[in-house]
Amino acid sequence: MSAAPPPAPPRLVTEGLAAWYGSVPGIRDVSLAFEANRVTALIGPSGCGKSTMLRCLNRMHELVPGTRVAGRVLLDGNDIYAPDVSPIAVRRTVGMVFQKPTPFPMMSVAENVAAGLRVGPPISRSERDGIVERALRRAALWDEVKDRLGDSPLALSGGQQQRLCVARTIAPEPEVILLDEPTASLDPLGSARIEELVHELKREFTVVIVTHNLQQAARVSDVTAFFYLGALIEVGPTAQLFTAPTQPQTEAYITGRFG
Amino acid sequence: MAIRVSRRLVGAAMTGATYSAALIAILPLAAIFGMLVAKGAGSIDWAFFTRSSVPLGETGGGFAHAIVGTLIIVGLACAIGVPVGVGIGIYLAEFGAGWLGWVVRYVADILNGTPSIVIGIFAWTWLVKPMGTFSALAGGAALSVILVPIVARTTEEMVRLVPNSLREAALALGYPRWRTSLQIVGRTAGAGIVTGVLVAMARVAGETAPLLFTALGNQFFSTRLTGPMAALPLQVYVYAVGPYEEWRRQAWAGALVLILLVLSLGIAARWVTRGKRARG
């Protein structure tokens, strides 16, 4: 069992969060706290709402026509769904990496990393180059691409493309990073490198990862939350949830009886 | 064994049929091109590109005024039509799901099928008459009306091919909707959009009817946008129906140059999208 987290106020808190696709509920009444400098894993069978949950945390859910969100999401105490808060500002503070690598094909490797900076305050060329290098180093990609910064990102392997997307996400210095099954399309080696990266990322960021892979959740996360049929069933320190779950559904899922 | 033989026979017959169909499709183009080269190539010399029409009774002269005129008028059509067409195309693909998108798409399709002479009369009524003079400007405007729907629909198709994951990635970085559409989606579809523009240019470069009422044509070299201007198809028409052997010779040469211009635009369109198909 891992040590209890230090008593710092959580960075991100959801209160009674619910989301719908049309009239179909995606998640129901989820209250969950995400600690700073911790990795929280969201697990559960397909369609349980874990990705919907993630997409509510940076207001991406509302981009799908006909969707609706209720409840509150507090980032450092401020509701990101308050009427005067712009979703664009939220997404600059809460970055996201997707299931498949999504490099912009018409931009070079360096331009991809700097893509998020273009919608921020203006910076000089040398500042930008410095941020690009630092982001690539933190994404453990610099040594592999430092001579190919002007090349097309499509020449990189799938795993390298995904780390490029991580670099692009962290370049504008968000506070929270959401990872939506980031290794689902990668081979085992590429997955292992992303998992190492997640360990590094939590030094600076609050990390939330959705994963289908229970071993991965066990390896990378400090806290795990189990979702089933749109509801949060159980949340706890990862080691405890995997060894001594309190809910019967959690136990059934982690022992492979469904999902 | 019997089945194998009959299968092979049917296979050979079908392959033969498809080859003949392809041949029949290519034949008219080859025939047109061959005839133009045979009748027109002999009249193409340096003077053809550097000199304008000469007065009756003199021999020689060239199509320089018509070639420059076509470039200017098509350039005007692009200056007016490309921004509008690309804008409409991006709108249709990105935001055109509602009734307004349906209406715009429908109007573009109708416009695409409108006979070009009708567009010529339209431009005459709204531009030539109020301005009191035939002009290159009116010619460019008339051609832009033909150009816009073609560019709009090809742009829409190209923008639709951009995977939604790229839009989401940009939005997740904090890009506003409009910057996502222009800077990420538009840029990704760029090569396809350029191809559509080149194809549309090739189409309008050969249009004659709309120019009859607008640019009118000109026997003299002119680059004045507010006055009548020569254009290749107009000059070919005037010379082809003329009574002089010399004129008809030059009309063939002009037609050949026009076809080569259209052909090179088509090749340029292919070249822009080279190797892009496999990427998906």
Residue B276 has pLDDT above 70, yes or no: no
How does DSSP assign A64-113, residue by residue? STTEEEEEEEEETTEETTSTT--HHHHHHHEEEE-SS----TTS-HHHHH
Q: Nearest CB to A88: which of B176, B188, B190?
A: B176
What is the rounded CA–CA span in Å between residue A33 and residue A41? 12
**Contact at 8 Å (CB) between A193 and A165?**
no
pTM: 0.83
Q: What is the mean pLDDT of residues B34-59?
A: 87
Compute the average pLDDT of residues B201-220. Answer: 92
Q: Average of pLDDT values for B193-212?
A: 93
For chain B, give every domain's residue range: 2-43, 49-279
Per CB-CB distance under 8 Å, the chain B contacts of A165 are 169
Give CA–CA dist A95/A3, Å, rounded: 28
Distance CA B72, CA B214 (A): 14
Distance of CA A98 to the CA centre of its chain: 8
ipTM rounded to 2 decimals: 0.91
Give pLDDT tens digits for B92-142: 999 988 999 999 999 999 999 999 999 999 999 999 999 999 999 999 999
Strand, coil or helix: B53: coil
The contacts of residue B216 (CB under 8 Å, 6+ apart) are B134, B228, B229, B234
* 8 A C-beta contact, residue A112 and residue A164: yes
pLDDT value at residue A2: 55
Q: How far is A1 from chain B (nearest CA, A)?
A: 35
The predicted-structure confidence for A137-196, as pLDDT tens digits, reads as follows 999 999 999 999 999 999 999 999 999 999 999 999 999 999 999 999 899 999 999 999
Q: What is the pLDDT of residues A10-62, one digit of tens each?
A: 899 999 999 999 999 999 999 999 999 999 999 999 889 999 999 999 999 99
Mean pLDDT value of segment B211-239: 92
Strand A78-79: give its sheet, edge to edge: A24-34, A12-21, A67-75, A78-79
3-class SS shares of chain B: helix, strand, coil, % to 5: 80, 0, 20
With a cut of 80, say whether residue A253 has pLDDT above it: yes
d(CA B124, CA B213): 6
| Interchain pair B169, A104: CB under 8 A | yes
Could you tell me the pLDDT band of residue A5, with boundaries at 50, 70 and 90?
low
Task: Calculate how close chain B gets to A169, using CA atoms only, in Å.
Answer: 7
Closest to A178 measured CA to CA, from A212, A142, A213, A205: A205
B183 close to A (CB below 8 A): yes
Look over chain A and give the mean of its residue pLDDT values, rounded to a whole number: 92
Give the separation between CA B56 and CA B216, rounded to whole angstroms: 20
pLDDT of residue B57: 74
The model's confidence at residue B20, banded by pLDDT at 50, 70 and 90, is: very high
| Contact call for residues B76 and B147 (beta carbons, < 8 A) | no
- pLDDT-derived band of residue B272, with 50, 70 and 90 as boundaries? confident
Q: What is the mean pLDDT of residues A250-254?
A: 93
Which CATH architecture group holds B49-279?
Orthogonal Bundle (1.10)
Rounded Cα distance between A116 and B172, Å, is 9
CA A223 to chain centre: 14
On the question of pLDDT at B220 being above 70, the answer is: yes
**SS3 state of residue A178:** strand
Mean per-residue pLDDT, B257-271: 91
Residue B273, pLDDT score: 76
Per-residue pLDDT, B1 = 55
Q: Give the integer Cα–Cα distance in Å for B130 and A109.
A: 54
Q: Determine whether the interchain pair A115/B173 forms a contact, defined as Cβ–Cβ distance below 8 Å.
A: yes
- The type of residue at B236 is V
| Residues of chain A with C-beta less than 8 angstroms from the C-beta of B166 | 102, 104-105
Strand partners, A42: A210, A225
Matching residue, tokens 């729907």? B149
Task: Output phi, psi for B200, to 5 deg.
Answer: -65, -40
pLDDT attached to residue B271: 87
Mark out chain A residues that contact chain B at CB-CB < 8 A: 58, 60, 63, 65, 88-89, 91-92, 95-96, 98, 100, 102, 104-107, 115-116, 118-120, 154, 165, 168-169, 172
- Taking the CA of residue B188 and the nearest CA in chain A, the distance in Å comes to 6
Question: Once rounded to an integer, what is the mean pLDDT over residues B250-259?
Answer: 93
Residue of A nearest to B179 (CA): A119
pLDDT bin (cut points 50, 70, 90) of residue B280 is: very low
- pLDDT score at A4: 59
Please report, for chain A, the start and end positions of each structural domain, with discontinuous segments joined by +.
12-254
Q: CB within 8 A of B18, min separation 6: which ones? A: none
What proportion of chain B, given as a percentage, has pLDDT over 70?
97
Proportion of chain A above pLDDT 70, given as a percent: 97
Q: What is the pLDDT, as a whole number, of residue B279?
A: 41
Q: What angle do helix axes B245-272 and B2-40 make, rounded to 10 degrees?
A: 130
Convert the pLDDT of each residue in B149-198 to its tens digit.
Answer: 999 999 999 999 999 999 999 999 999 999 999 999 999 999 899 999 99
Q: What's the confidence (pLDDT) of residue A113?
A: 97
pLDDT in tens, A102-142: 999 999 999 999 999 999 889 999 999 999 999 999 999 99
Burial classification of residue A131, based on how many CB atoms lie within 10 Å of its CB (0-12 exposed, 13-18 middle, 19 or more buried): buried
CB A183 within 8 A of CB A198: no
Distance between alpha carbon B112 and the CA centroid of its chain, in Å? 12
Query: Which numeric CATH code is attached to A12-254?
Result: 3.40.50.300
Q: Does the pLDDT value for residue B274 go beyond 90?
A: no
Candidates A187, A184, A180, A141; CA nearest to A160 is: A141
Instruction: Compute chain B's Rg from CA coordinates.
Output: 23
Q: Which residues face A20 on adjacent strands?
A: A25, A68
E strand or H helix at A18: strand A12-21
Tokens 């026009």 locate to: B258
Question: What is the Cα–Cα distance from A39 to A238, expressed in whole angstroms?
Answer: 10
Q: Among B52, B99, B107, B109, which residue's Cα sits nearest to residue B230?
A: B52
Return the pLDDT at B278. Answer: 37
